[in-house]
Amino acid sequence: MTSAEQSTAAQTPGFDPGIHRKLVAGIESGLLRDLHVVLAASAGDVILEHYVEGIDEAWGRPLGNVAFDAGTLHDLRSVTKSVVSLLYGIALDRGLVPPPEAPLVAQFPEYTDLAADPARAKITVGHALTMTLGMEWDENRPYSDPLNSEIAMELAPDRYRFVLDRPIIAEPGSRWIYSGGSFALVGAIIARGTGKALPDFAREVLFAPLGIERFHWSAGNDGVASAASGLRLTAPDLLKIGQLLLRNGLWDGQRIVSQEWIEVSFTPATSTPDGLGYGRLWFIGDAPAPAFGAPKPWLAGFGNGGQRLWLMPDADIAAVMYAGKYNAWDAWVTPTQIWREIILANFLKR
């Protein structure tokens, strides 16, 4: 953070210089690496804000050295999925998309051969929303590997057939398999139901009401915006989305998304191999919160490279972290340390 930025942040109600000093000490010591942005708010007030300079990229395209600030767009990577889950909820509230219990393949009537498969007929839209399709999908490979399923989908002549035609390896709903393909299907359902491209629908029903004026949505070779990983937002704008969720879908007195959709999204529908709960495109866990004397539940959108949107409703805390450790197995370490050891460990009830 430049001296001017730090001064501006220090004048913000709620800004905590002590938490900021601990963050800077961790960065300067080398314990917290590859960070680009940390921004956190409690009860609507910014308590922590820090921007640095570092190497970045946009959906794999090198950007070189970037001096980050409050106006810098940044890849969300898979936090995009959590934002698109909100868009599905908004479309559902308006009766524009089928409900989660609707058959998935039936939403793509052009694939009559796939629709005739009894095994695929069991798969619902809800299974796509919870990544429990039961279909083969491999995103454990590096995203530079054409055999990575998401990359293979982007290279396929028909992305939706590619996803829907994967071999079925588990009963739908029985097993969580991380899949950007599942959410490509959800994005298509939103676009077909609303009659608008995903970025246009997002601008109308979510971004404009929140005052989000600038964003970028990366698209594949077919021109389709990636519902799985393509959204770029500034940190303050992603924080607004987090605060919208903490306010149960209300913004300046306007209902943006139903409280019912938020509640069901934040309810575990399955569990991940590392023991976290998983709702409708949100990871769910708990963490120590010393101000409360007991662990409290958190919710988060996670993205490749260390991108995070963390929420702890009981503390009314939303936190955004951007980082540049793309495709690294340990990219989770630094954001987790900041969330648990700096933000939550030093949070005092307001």
pLDDT digits (tens, 9 = 90+) for 289-315: 888 888 999 999 999 999 999 999 999
Residue 220: which of 178, 181, 166 has the closest Cα?
181
pLDDT digits (tens, 9 = 90+) for 225-253: 999 999 999 999 999 999 999 999 999 99
Residue 244 is encoded by which pair of tokens? 């919208």
Alpha helix (H) residue ranges in the chain: 3-10, 17-29, 79-93, 112-115, 118-121, 125-129, 149-155, 159-164, 180-194, 198-202, 208-210, 235-246, 259-265, 333-337
Confidence of residue 2 (pLDDT cuts 50, 70, 90): very low
CATH of 73-233+251-282, one of 3.40.50.10800, 3.40.630.30, 3.40.710.10, 2.40.30.30: 3.40.710.10
pLDDT digits (tens, 9 = 90+) for 273-283: 999 999 999 99
Do β-strands 296-303 and 250-251 pair in parallel, antiparallel, or remain unpaired? unpaired
Domain positions in the chain are 1-72+319-350, 73-233+251-282
93 Cβ neighbours under 8 A, 6+ residues apart: 257, 258, 261
8 A C-beta contact, residue 111 and residue 161:
yes
